[in-house]
Chain A
């Protein structure tokens, strides 16, 4: 029974970490109809920035600075690299692959590929939650993550801007006809996505350690959750991230941690073959 509670609690916490990293990615991909591979690489850049700025700005200062800087980084990335070619999803995909690999190479040259850094937690210590011992920092990340997801869900269903973000992927032409500025909205989504990536970088990097290759697994998770949940669907992301989080912890706890990726991705592939649009996906126009 203790193991089941452990799986549920840690599954929900990890789900929120993955969710907060993925939700911006999913909105960006859903809005544009393309996959921007550079975003997971920027997660790694954000984590490094937090580590390196901590001695100068302090914990809170470096976190706030990096979160805002990530928002602007993603905005500039959109304006410079994505906007000129946003009508061609394959061009975006290939260009962002090259850019992501270039970013990783730059970071590896500067900081060495073999080193791993630690992010100091905002709150240390553990707390007993339903007989399961949980790190306070991780619990904080879980609370912030789910708050952000529910907040975004409310935003996209109860505000005009949010509804516009959801509507545009269904028909870009139709959205333009009714006067929506697709470019401006995409830029906004990139900015917000960057902010969320910055928060995700802090909590995920704090848990796993900061290294040059730390973005590879989040990239896989982001892709999995995005397609499983359905492009551009916050509700889908919430369901998918919960499923992935609980399943991952379950596999590690009850089956074998060495095949966690196989089980996770195998389930995701099976679901996508049965339901290509994902759990709550919208048709991309």
Chain B
């Protein structure tokens, strides 16, 4: 396991993200939104791609964390940092305690459905009048303390994203990661060897949920409100999936690329057309990309890098680095 090589790659990724923020200083809101969605997409891809479980309930982490933080700030007036810490703890713990037993008991399509139905059920509960005293119902919780579109915040998000990505990479290349990689296709062999693969996928889910929760509290406080549309919404979950798939499902940097591409494409298109025409172009493009490049757009960059390595650095072509 070459830690320094992975570290340099993530440092390079951080430099690129900061450069993007510097170049697009007049559009920092898009840069920040793209980075937040990159955190969501990367954390989702980390569990789904490498465990083999298609988790359609990732927004449970985001929503629980975001709403907890917002509720503490809105109702009790707690300081922002404390609300966020508690929010992350509740989001990670609550989401993991719900999804982990389910993924241990249910596999395949049934797990997808249970996670999918769960977020729809929770969304309905959150906007109902029963939950209104706590969640604000369909209006949500606002105003809450928040962040502004500053260069400092954009850089901080990029750092969080790359640090999380680096630790995800380390985990995937560790012994636990290798077991998960093998168990994805050969769960019965792993079980026969006396190892419970769910123990490892459970850890993957916890780490994925932790980063998703961090993204959730940051997103809610950047948005200035906790509403279903930026927390538990099915539309948010689908958007995260689309970004990860377009960028590259088995690649952490692919998820980041997908998030930036979708947000920036939307940013360009919004000047010329309404929302549905934008969606048509984005999803149409995503569909074409998915058929032409099943491994996502990141595969183009990997091929380019291999070509450069052969021509410029005169090294042998390497297998695609999925992390």
Using a CB–CB cutoff of 8 Å, the interface residues on chain A facing chain B are: 29, 33-35, 89-91, 93-95, 97-99, 101-102, 104-106, 108-109, 113, 216, 220, 223-224, 226-227, 231, 256, 258-262, 264-266, 268-269, 272-273, 276-278, 284
Contact = CB atoms under 8 A, between A and B. Distances in A.
Given A113-B276, A265-B124, A269-B117, A35 B112 contact: yes
A98 B110 contact: no
Interface string B120-140: 111111001110000000000
B120 A109 contact: no
B279 A266 contact: no
Contacts of B277: 105, 109
A276 B111 CA distance: 8
Given A98-B242, A98-B245, A269-B114, A227 B124 contact: no
Interface in B233-268: 234, 238, 241-242, 245, 249
A93 B283 contact: no
B117 A268 contact: yes
B77 interface: no
6 contacts: A98-B287, A101-B238, A102-B287, A104-B279, A105-B277, A106-B280
Contact of A259 (B113, B124, B234, B291): B124
Contacts of B110: 227, 272, 276-278
A46 B224 CA distance: 40
Given A265-B117, A265-B121, A231 B290 contact: no
A284 B118 contact: no
Contacts of B320: none
For the residues of A in contact with B, the DSSP-based class is helix
B312 interface: no
Contacts, number: 115
For the residues of B in contact with A, the DSSP-based class is helix
Contacts of A95: 287, 290-291
Nearest to B137: A258
Contacts of A224: 113, 117
Contacts of A227: 109-110, 113-114, 117
Contacts of B215: none
B316 interface: no
B125 to A, nearest CB: 4
Contacts of A256: 128-130
Contacts of A90: 54
Contacts of B283: 98, 101-102, 105
B284 interface: yes
A91 B279 CA distance: 21
B58 to A, nearest CB: 14
A102 B284 contact: yes
Contact of A265 (B112, B118, B130, B280): B118
Given A227-B109, A272-B106, A102 B117 contact: no
Contacts of B245: 94, 98
Nearest to A106: B280
